[in-house]
Structure 1
Amino acid sequence: MQLAKQAQNNEGTLQIVTNARVTQTVKLVRLEKFLALQTSVDAALENIK
């Protein structure tokens, strides 16, 4: 969460590569609005361009 806050302060987002189980857990604790969840490294790289 500390890294996500730093990214937001610098007008960016923290790209997290995850799988379905981790995504479900993150959404359960309502952190998806702070983290940019991605299904692959390629998707994460596309979102930072």
Structure 2
Amino acid sequence: MRRPAALSRRRDSLREEINSRFNSQNLFQGAMWAAMWTTMVGGFITLLGAGGGA
């Protein structure tokens, strides 16, 4: 009876570890995507500003 409980506990800990890793990876990807999007929008705004100024 003790072994299955230990196995289930190991599975839960592994699940929590995987979930935390996936969450951190998603946060990192989201930050990278946001930075890329802001740089793209900034580039478009600067291009439009230069075109409007010229």
Tell whether the structures are fold-level matches, with TM greater than 0.5. Answer: no
The structure in which a higher percent of residues are helix is: 2
Give the TM-score, by structure 2 length: 0.22
Which structure exhibits the higher relative contact order, with contacts defined as CA atoms closer than 8 Å and separated by 6 or more residues?
Answer: 1
The structure in which a higher percent of residues are strand is: 1
